[in-house]
């Protein structure tokens, strides 16, 4: 379906109708502008002359037809001009010259008000001198020999049964005509295609995406101070050995200010035993609760008061099967020296053991105490005083699911000052997931609300009134539609929802 926009102007001069072939130039009839002027006749509006291109083939009769083109036409207007005095006549000619002296003027004739020609004044004829009632001629040269409908037809595109945006253009003229398209974007868009059996136009980038997948790090949890650790679950956890977890926790403070997580009761067992806490990873913004790549860190305080003291601290990353993935252990299992061990494991395999002093100057004392585990694929990094790196590609695809902390004592030993490591604390704990995928919106070429206008006659495309030459894809054809019905289909980016509002418009052409 289409709608009409009628821009035809009908004019009369008082009670007397205009001459049948009265000329309207750019919306005004000459008779209505100059008293005493009247159109007598018009020539050149009839049949259109054609120029034939031919080829002579040897001595054969006749020639071979090559092509035909319609040549420019000249429209000549004969007129009468009545004046009461020479001064009035000169004034009227000045006015007539002003009216006619317009380039590419729209020419409408009273007997065919629904069509127009486009012409520029060329020749003018002589008039008899010394007379106040004169006749003469003037001509318009029409480089474009066709005439055009005064009515612009518009056709609204809609989705067909196959969800393809299309419209049917009905050309009731006698010649092919250019098509203009107005495309209003109702969503971000990166591409517009316009196609028919006569050609295709493409603008933008057909492969442009609305979003891109990037990666970032996300802090999944962070606990600092005794009360924050209450978010973890007591009495459970993933350890490298199945130690009893029947001990309890307590808060310990230093100088009445700093708050630490400490071992209260050591529990019981025939090996190491103590208190345990576990934290399962919460979901990240992508909805995943596991982490193949991560950075887990805690700060501890490990310091003895007597050589006879013993104790065990574990910092364990558990996998999806509740098995150890990576861990750091601080252990003092002798009663005769001040030495402790820092043990690093991938899975249950020990990869590094460090002997260190357990006094206040050690790497795990209050002034230091940083422990971390980083995993990136099969590369593991452990920190105790400095960083240690190990690669185990068999563990590259393993994913973290939990974090366990443990404080314990050896079988048969108590939590008394002579038996248990004096300062065996957790200060803070955090887990950061790396390489979390997320979608970032890409500002597209055409924003919501942008208006694209395709000028079919000029062969140009505009966005919000600006000519966008670079958007035109190589091979674009600004096709015309012949008389009859033509189906035009439109394409756009798959993420463009709702689709653009599209109208096609034509001005019909006649010989």
Answer yes or no: do 379 and 238 share one domain: yes
Answer yes or no: do 409 and 384 share one domain: yes
CB 237, CB 317: distance < 8 Å = no
pTM of the model: 0.56
What does the pLDDT read at residue 15?
45
Answer yes or no: do 362 and 319 share one domain: yes
Tokens of 354: 């460090």
Answer yes or no: do 23 and 169 share one domain: no
Answer yes or no: do 138 and 157 share one domain: no
Answer yes or no: do 432 and 485 share one domain: no
What does the pLDDT read at residue 65?
86
CATH number reported for the structural domain that contains residue 506 in this entry: 2.60.120.860
- Dist CA 152 CA 176 (whole Å): 15
Average pLDDT, the chain: 91
Answer yes or no: do 308 and 363 share one domain: yes
CA 436 from chain centre, in angstroms, equals 21
Answer yes or no: do 51 and 126 share one domain: yes
- Dist CA 170 CA 149 (whole Å): 14
**Total domains present in the chain:** 3
Domain that holds residue 266: 222-438
With a cut of 70, say whether residue 501 has pLDDT above it. yes
The domain boundary residue, chosen from 438, 453, 479: 438
- Dist CA 68 CA 76 (whole Å): 25
Q: What are the tens digits of pLDDT across the range 133-167?
A: 999 999 999 999 999 999 999 999 999 999 999 99
**217 part of a folded domain:** no
Q: What are the tens digits of pLDDT across the range 161-185?
A: 999 999 999 999 999 999 999 999 9
**216 part of a folded domain:** no
Q: What are the tens digits of pLDDT across the range 267-296?
A: 999 999 999 999 999 999 889 999 999 999
What does the pLDDT read at residue 1?
40
Preceding amide of 498 cis, omega within 30? yes
Q: If you ran DSSP here, which 8-state letter would residue 443 be given?
A: P
What does the pLDDT read at residue 2?
42
CATH number reported for the structural domain that contains residue 364 in this entry: 2.60.120.200
CB 137, CB 120: distance < 8 Å = no
Residue that is written with structure tokens 């950075």 in the block: 295
- Dist CA 266 CA 243 (whole Å): 12
Answer yes or no: do 327 and 434 share one domain: yes
pLDDT more than 90, % of the chain: 77
Our CA angle for 305, 307, 312, nearest 5°, is: 80
Our CA angle for 331, 333, 335, nearest 5°, is: 130
With a cut of 90, say whether residue 381 has pLDDT above it. yes
Run of H or E residues at 87 = helix 86-100
Residue that is written with structure tokens 């960083």 in the block: 387
Q: What are the tens digits of pLDDT across the range 33-76?
A: 999 999 999 999 998 888 888 888 888 888 888 888 899 999 99
Answer yes or no: do 480 and 447 share one domain: yes
The domain boundary residue, chosen from 145, 175, 197: 145
| Alpha-carbon distances of 308 from 224, 252, 424, rounded to whole Å | 30, 22, 15
Q: What are the tens digits of pLDDT across the range 92-111?
A: 999 999 999 999 999 999 99
**81 part of a folded domain:** yes
What does the pLDDT read at residue 359?
82
CB 76, CB 23: distance < 8 Å = no
Q: What are the tens digits of pLDDT across the range 462-486?
A: 999 999 998 999 889 999 999 999 9
With a cut of 90, say whether residue 392 has pLDDT above it. yes
Strand ranges in 232-378 using DSSP code E only, listed in sequence order: 233-234, 249-254, 258-263, 273-280, 294-303, 311-319, 324-332, 339-346, 349-357, 370-376
Answer yes or no: do 139 and 177 share one domain: no
Average pLDDT of the residues in 353-362: 84
């Amino acid at each position: 379906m289409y709608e009409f926009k009628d821009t035809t102007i009908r004019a009369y001069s008082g009670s007397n109708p205009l001459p049948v072939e009265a000329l309207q130039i750019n919306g005004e009839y000459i008779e209505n502008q100059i008293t005493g002027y009247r159109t007598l006749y018009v020539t050149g509006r009839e049949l259109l002359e054609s120029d034939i291109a031919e080829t002579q083939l040897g001595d054969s009769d006749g020639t071979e037809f090559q092509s035909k083109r319609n040549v420019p036409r000249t429209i000549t207007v004969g007129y009468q001009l009545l004046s009461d005095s020479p001064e009035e006549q000169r004034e009227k000619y000045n006015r007539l010259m002003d009216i006619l002296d317009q380039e590419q003027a729209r020419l409408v004739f009273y007997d065919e008000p629904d069509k127009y020609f486009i012409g520029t004044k060329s020749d003018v004829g002589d008039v008899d001198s010394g007379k106040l009632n004169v006749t003469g001629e003037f001509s318009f040269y029409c480089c474009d020999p066709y005439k055009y409908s005064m009515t612009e037809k518009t056709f609204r595109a809609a989705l067909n049964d196959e969800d393809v945006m299309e419209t049917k253009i009905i050309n009731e003229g006698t010649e092919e005509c250019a098509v203009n398209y107005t495309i209003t974007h109702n969503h971000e868009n990166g591409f517009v295609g316009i196609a028919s059996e006569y050609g295709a136009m493409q603008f933008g980038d057909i492969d442009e995406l609305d979003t891109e997948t990037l990666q970032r790090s996300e802090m999944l949890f962070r606990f600092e101070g005794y009360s924050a650790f209450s978010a973890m679950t007591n009495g459970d956890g993933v350890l490298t050995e199945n130690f009893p977890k029947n001990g309890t926790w307590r808060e310990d403070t230093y100088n009445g200010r700093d708050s630490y997580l400490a071992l209260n009761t050591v529990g019981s067992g025939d090996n190491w035993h103590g208190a345990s806490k576990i934290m399962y990873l919460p979901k990240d913004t992508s909805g995943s609760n596991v982490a193949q790549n991560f950075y887990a860190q805690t700060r501890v305080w490990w310091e003895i008061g007597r050589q006879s003291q013993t104790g065990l601290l574990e910092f364990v990353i558990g996998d999806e099967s509740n098995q150890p993935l990576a861990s750091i252990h601080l252990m003092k299992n002798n009663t005769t020296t001040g030495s402790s061990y820092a043990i690093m494991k991938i899975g249950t395999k020990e990869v590094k053991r460090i002997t260190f002093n357990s006094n206040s100057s050690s790497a795990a004392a209050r002034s230091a105490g940083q422990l971390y585990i980083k995993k990136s694929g099969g590369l593991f990094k452990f920190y105790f005083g400095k960083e240690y790196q190990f690669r185990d590609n068999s563990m590259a695809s393993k994913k973290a699911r939990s974090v366990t902390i443990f404080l314990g004592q050896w079988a048969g030993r108590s939590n008394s000052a002579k038996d248990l490591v004096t300062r065996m604390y957790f200060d803070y704990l955090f887990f950061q997931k790396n390489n979390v995928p997320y979608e970032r919106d890409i500002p597209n070429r055409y924003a919501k609300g942008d208006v694209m206008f395709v000028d079919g006659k000029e062969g140009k495309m505009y966005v919000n009134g600006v000519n966008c030459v670079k958007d035109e894809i190589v091979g674009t054809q600004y096709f015309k539609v012949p008389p009859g019905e033509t189906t035009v289909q439109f394409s756009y980016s798959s993420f463009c929802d709702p689709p653009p509002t599209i109208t096609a418009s034509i001005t019909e052409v006649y010989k």
